[in-house]
């Protein structure tokens, strides 16, 4: 038997709660509105491009930091949407999803003692990312109802040890789209303290009610201190392809490419080829994407509202946070975990407990998150089940 201890890092974080909810959904035959992956087909044109690439024998390793034509497509799209010229030869690294991208970036820039600022609630990967990379996280609260932050609290989180701040806009789990004013406040602090902005912009095209995506890289003075992490998963509904990319200033990008190379060698070559087709789709693709998600959002918002789940209306991304406090109080349910277990088992809908987005579980005890990146019929079926919620909850008599 092997008796030496495993890495001290592994016990510091738990298995992903979101992926656990997916397993519970399968076990109980529930409709899975927990994990953010579409249950509808990927665009035909992309599936064909991927199949064509495989048949054309684009089947061996691509250049480790990304196939040249894919990097060129990324540079073109960045110029088109953000108005920023990035050098495909020196400022782009293609990786296995933005998940790898975020870790590559942190591994490339973090030294012992470095701090990284994270807004809370946060996308659950950022916690483990800081542990794996050896960064010390510092949390700044996004507060309901509008998920705004307190500028003084943010300013107090910066110090000489701060190496980076992670900004996810549009935001998972809150649906917040950071405003220009907010981003400028962050940018001023980044410049004052010589800090990198690492921005997760994976939901950049999923916006509602006229919300505008502003990438911090476009703000004055931020071009040289912003690292953009992005990918194909959400914009093109291909979460299983695992193709992401990083835009970073030349000096830092060299270090990022090394981390990436020795971690995964490269992203799937035929899917990068298909990515060149995806990233060159016309603007109408993106407006249709947003329009489709607006319809889905509205269907789920109405269902959640009717069920008494008090949804927060998202401005972007494809999640809805709900305040479950009134229902929990009424019914004697203790917290988000108890509520989501009841929901998945007795109502047949899977959601994510809010505590998985906070470092202190109690901070998320009144929140749960649903996703609506699902077929209209899936959402209609979920709405039907949610309509039975109050009745089921009443019949269970949690109050003993
Ligand atoms: C904010 C955020 N970043 C990154 C990811 C993962 O993206 P990828 O599939 O590119 O690794 C997700 C997935 O849910 C996400 O919500």
Atom of ligand 1 nearest to the CA of 232: 10
Atom of ligand 1 nearest to the CA of 230: 10
| Tokens found for residue 47 | 């599936």
Whether 319 is in the pocket of ligand 1, judged by its Cβ within 6 Å, is no
| Tokens found for residue 109 | 């820039």
Whether 371 is in the pocket of ligand 1, judged by its Cβ within 6 Å, is no
Atom of ligand 1 nearest to the CA of 123: 1
The per-residue pLDDT for 392 is: 82
Whether 174 is in the pocket of ligand 1, judged by its Cβ within 6 Å, is no
**Higher per-residue pLDDT: 123 or 390:** 123
Tokens 């579980």 appear where? 361
Atom of ligand 1 nearest to the CA of 36: 14
Whether 335 is in the pocket of ligand 1, judged by its Cβ within 6 Å, is no
Q: Which long-range contacts (CB under 8 A, 24 or more apart) does 303-308 make?
A: 303/379, 303/382, 303/383, 303/386, 303/387, 304/370, 304/386, 306/386, 306/387, 307/386, 307/387, 307/389, 307/390, 308/389, 308/390
pLDDT surpasses 90 at 370:
yes
Whether 34 is in the pocket of ligand 1, judged by its Cβ within 6 Å, is no
- With beta carbons less than 8 A apart as the criterion, state whether 382 and 303 touch: yes
Whether 273 is in the pocket of ligand 1, judged by its Cβ within 6 Å, is no
The per-residue pLDDT for 399 is: 47
299 Cα to the center of ligand 1, angstroms: 23
Q: How far apart are CA 340 and CA 297, in angstroms?
A: 20
Residue nearest to atom 6 of ligand 1 (CA): 99
The per-residue pLDDT for 57 is: 98
The per-residue pLDDT for 296 is: 98
- pLDDT bin (cut points 50, 70, 90) of residue 400 is very low
Per DSSP bridges, beta strands 244-247 and 226-231 are antiparallel
4 Cα to the center of ligand 1, angstroms: 34
Q: What is the pLDDT of residues 134-153, one digit of tens each?
A: 999 999 999 998 999 999 99
Q: What is the pLDDT of residues 291-306, one digit of tens each?
A: 999 999 999 999 999 9
- pLDDT bin (cut points 50, 70, 90) of residue 397 is low
332 Cα to the center of ligand 1, angstroms: 34
Q: What is the pLDDT of residues 200-251, one digit of tens each?
A: 999 999 999 999 999 999 999 999 999 999 999 999 999 999 999 999 999 9
The per-residue pLDDT for 362 is: 94
- With beta carbons less than 8 A apart as the criterion, state whether 347 and 25 touch: no
Q: What is the pLDDT of residues 12-71, one digit of tens each?
A: 988 777 878 888 999 999 999 999 999 999 999 999 999 999 999 999 999 999 999 999
The per-residue pLDDT for 391 is: 79
Mean pLDDT of the chain: 95
Atom of ligand 1 nearest to the CA of 96: 11
The per-residue pLDDT for 17 is: 79
The per-residue pLDDT for 22 is: 86
């Amino acid at each position: 038997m092997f008796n030496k201890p495993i890495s001290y890092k592994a016990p510091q974080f738990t298995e992903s709660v979101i992926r656990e909810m997916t397993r519970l959904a399968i076990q109980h035959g529930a409709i899975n509105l927990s994990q953010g992956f579409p249950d509808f087909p990927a665009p035909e044109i992309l599936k064909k491009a991927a199949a064509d690439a495989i048949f054309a024998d684009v089947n061996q390793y691509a250049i480790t930091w990304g196939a040249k034509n894919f990097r060129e497509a990324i540079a073109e799209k960045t110029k088109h949407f953000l108005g920023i010229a990035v050098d495909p030869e020196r400022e782009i690294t293609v990786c296995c999803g933005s998940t790898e991208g975020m870790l590559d970036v942190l591994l490339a820039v973090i030294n012992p003692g470095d701090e990284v600022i994270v807004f809370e609630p946060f996308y659950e990967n950022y916690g483990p990312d800081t542990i794996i990379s050896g960064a010390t996280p510092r949390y700044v609260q996004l507060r309901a109802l509008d998920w705004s932050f307190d500028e003084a609290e943010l300013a107090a989180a910066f110090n000489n040890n701060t190496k980076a701040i992670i900004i996810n806009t549009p935001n998972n789990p809150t649906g917040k789209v950071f405003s220009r004013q907010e981003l400028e406040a962050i940018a001023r602090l980044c410049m004052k303290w010589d800090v990198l902005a690492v921005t997760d912009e994976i939901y950049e095209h999923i916006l509602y009610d006229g919300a505008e995506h502003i990438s911090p890289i476009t703000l004055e003075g931020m071009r040289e201190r912003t690292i953009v992490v992005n990918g194909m998963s959400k914009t093109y509904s291909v979460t299983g392809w695992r193709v992401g990319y990083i835009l970073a200033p030349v000096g830092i990008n060299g270090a990022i490419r090394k981390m990436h190379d020795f971690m995964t060698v490269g992203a799937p070559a035929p899917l990068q080829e298909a990515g060149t087709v995806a990233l060159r789709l016309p603007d109408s693709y993106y407006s249709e994407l947003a329009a489709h998600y607006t319809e889905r959002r509205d269907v789920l918002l109405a269902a959640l509202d009717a069920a008494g789940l008090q949804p927060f209306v998202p401005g972007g991304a494809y999640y809805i946070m709900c305040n479950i406090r009134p229902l929990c109080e009424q019914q004697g349910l203790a917290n988000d975990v108890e509520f989501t277990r009841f929901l998945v088992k007795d109502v047949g809908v899977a959601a994510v407990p809010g505590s998985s987005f906070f470092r202190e579980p109690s901070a998320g005890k009144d929140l749960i998150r649903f996703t609506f990146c699902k077929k209209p019929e899936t959402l209609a079926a979920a709405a039907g089940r949610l309509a039975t919620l109050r009745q089921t909850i009443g019949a269970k008599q949690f109050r003993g």
